[in-house]
Structure 1
Amino acid sequence: MDSNPTPNSSNDKQDKVGIYVVQRCPRLLDLEHGVQTAIEEIATAAKAGANLIAFPETWLTGYPVWVFGMASWNDPEARSWYKRLVEASPTASGSHINRIRDAARENNIEVVLGFNERARETGGTIYNSVAMIGRDGSLRGVHRKLTPTHAERLVWANGDAQGLRAYNTSAGKIGAAVCWEHFHPLIRQALHTEDEQIHIALWPDMPSAHQIASRQYAFEGRCFVVAAASYLDKESVPPELLEAYVKGAGSPDLFTGGSSIIGPDGEDIAGPVYGPEPLVVDIDVGQTIAYKHDLDVAGHYGRPDIFKLSVNREGDRR
């Protein structure tokens, strides 16, 4: 990470922001293909006039839904797939993420990337992470999902709050949370107090509960929400993993997309869009303040004389 990734470093913020949401996933467990696909998507988004591109949860190397069908003790198949996932996961400071940072700089675009993050090049621990990359190629920060959900705990370690913040960018003040973090009131409030204008909600798929949570977040935080979900077809899954993947997903259709852009009033501006195609929308981030006239949970509606929230963003990462 950059030596001074301050959340308050602004790059000529503008009110009109073009947003590009990627849905189609690259091949699972294929890091090189994923990086190359990300670079291509970044270039395509920039050509479409976007200022911000968002990728879904663990888009890079894939969401390990197979673990929901392999939760038994000493499961050799689960260990085999875990090994492959760890080996296919980049570190935040390594060459693979650096190539994506280079693409952000070359295309002058803000990037929010969901990826499986390996803690160390030779380590056996991975995180469900989000890289916040500036249009100058800087790595503003990395958010690690605080608490993996259910069987996810067999794959990802607990994250920390170092990246639980919003960053001033050329596209506005941007924060992110992953999947069921949107059902955690204190995580939501921690980000609301950062005065987000655009919140990236990263999901693997988009059932109705995820749509509801995304819209609730937008209404509660009086911010725009980019709800990014994956489109994953069988051709992108290694043949030897397909049966386990279908079992874990609970559907032969795997992930069908469903991304949307939601306004500060909690209403959909665009989407949900199902299928592999990206979602491309322009928004006016200057609208967010007007919606705080009647509801500002981090301000006049927050009652700080009664409630206190403390967030520990200290500690060494490992």
Structure 2
Amino acid sequence: MAPPPVCARPPCQSGARTILGRSATMPMISISIIQSPPVFLNLPASIVCAERLIREAAGNGADVIVFPEAWLPGYPVWLDDAPGSALFGHKPAEALFRVLLHNCPELEGREIARLAALSAELSVEIVMGIQERRGSSIFNTVVRLTPGRRDIHRKMMPTHNERLIWAAADGSTLGPWPGKYGPVGALICWEHWMPLARAARHQHGQVLHFALWPAVTELHLLASRHYAFEGQCFVAAAGTVLTRSQVFDGFDSLETDEPAARAMLEAIPAERELLKSGGSAIVGPDATIIAAAGQHDTLTLNAVIGTDIVAEGRLYLDTVGHYSRPDIFELQIDMRERPGLRTLI
């Protein structure tokens, strides 16, 4: 078997390291956002790639390492760019879904266990976007791994053509995530335009929020900056750089006899070489951009932030506190798990 393609390798001095504020008592957090793509659709090879990227970031001093939306095993770009992906009974779409399903990690599988072991070994926090296989369905999920702990959030509303392959999650993963420097949390892509989803996350008083995107476009950055100011928290907005050539390199590394599945990818127009443009950013509670990656830049983005300044902005705006008007507005959140099948004995 031929070796899988090596994922894009950023230099060890990847990205500028920006420091926002510093005092003797201020908790400082070093954040790294990975923009390099996975080995597209090849789950085992992508885990090897992820481990190398995590070790490099940890070696450069990262406390928190963030990967973009659906990084394992790669955002399903054919939904956006390949004509025919939404046709009922379309054999290429069916074949490619089968390949995708077989390469999606399960929460209790060895891939997530490997990332958890890395988190413990390196004493780092890993935030990973995955396409999670649950039974025969796929959920868009973010997994946060800290030494001895795992937190998850599943995307509640897949956007437009994403509904062809992803199931909609219930509200059971909207609970708070504790962190050693304060509460953290995540939303995925267009969940940042769901006002009540934002309100559900803001109630936890997040110090740091993870905004996972396929790529951070101008519109996505606008949503991330709005979230930072509305929630008075830092936001790590993560996006991937991915080319059409890398899509085929990854698929071909599977060495699977699936010509129909490859035909679905071949429907992506040849002139669409750059499919995802990265653009990751780290945003402060006042909506300023602390660090930003250049478009098409695969370098890991780094910044060091000081969390004490979070309290300062809440003097003026606390959307779940003194600015909330609970006498007028009330939000009810159903966090019960909804499996759809219950056996009563």
Relative to the length of structure 2, the TM-score reads 0.83
Report the count of equivalent residues.
299
Q: 3-state DSSP class of the match of 2:330?
A: coil
In structure 1, list runs of 5 or more residues that go unmatched.
1-12
Is the contact made by 1:261 and 1:268 (CA closer than 8 Å) also made in structure 2? yes
Give the structure 1 partner of residue 252 of structure 2: none
TM norm structure 1: 0.90
Matches within 5 A, 1:182-221: 182-221=192-231
* C-alpha distance in structure 2 between counterparts of 1:251 and 1:212, whole Å: 25
Which residue number in structure 1 is paired with residue 331 of structure 2?
309
Q: Residue in 2 aligned with 1:19?
A: 31
Per the alignment, residue 39 of structure 1 pairs with 51
1:296 corresponding residue in structure 2: 318
SS in 2 for 1:59: coil
Cα deviations by residue, 1:110-135 (Å, 9 ceiling, x for unpaired) = 1111001000xxx320100000111x
Q: Offset at 1:138?
A: 2.2
Compared CA separation, residues 172 and 128, structure 1 to 2 (3 A): same
Residue equivalent to 1:270: 291
The one-letter code matched in structure 1 to 2:93 is A
Give deviations 1:4-42, integer Å, cap 9, x for gaps: xxxxxxxxx972000000001111110001111111122
**Of the two structures, which has the highest relative contact order with CA contacts closer than 8 Å and spacing of 6 or more?**
2
Provide the rounded CA distance (Å) in 2 between the counterparts of 1:244 and 1:273.
28
Alpha-carbon distance, 1:278 to partner: 0.4
**Aligned residues of 1:59 and 1:113 also touching (Cα < 8 A):** yes
Unpaired segments ≥5 residues, structure 2: 1-24, 250-261, 341-345
Partner of 2:267: 244
Q: Which residue of 1 aligns with 2:306?
A: 284
2:90 counterpart (48, 59, 75): 75
Matched residues in 2 for 1:246 and 1:305: separation?
54
Structure 2 residue aligned with 1:256: 277
Matched, 1:92 2:103: no
Contact 1:15 1:172 in 2 (8 A): no
Q: Does the residue aligned with 1:57 lie in a helix, a strand or coil?
A: coil
Residues 224 and 235 in structure 2, CA contact (< 8 A), matched pair in contact too = yes
Q: Report the AA paired with residue 112 of structure 2.
A: I
Q: State the AA in 2 paired with 1:203.
A: W
* Residue-by-residue CA offset, 1:66-113 (whole Å, 9 max, x unaligned): 123311111111111111111000111111110011001100001111
* Structure number, greater radius of gyration: 2
Equivalent residue number for residue 131 of structure 2 = 116
Q: Deviations over 1:226-276 (max 9, x none)?
A: 0000011234212635433458xx932111210000000011001143311
- What is the Cα-based RMSD across aligned positions, in Å? 1.8
Give 3-state SS (helix, strand or coil) of 2:30's partner. strand
Is the 8 Å Cα contact of residues 170 and 338 (structure 2) preserved in structure 1?
no
Q: What SS class does the counterpart of residue 254 from structure 1 fall into?
A: strand
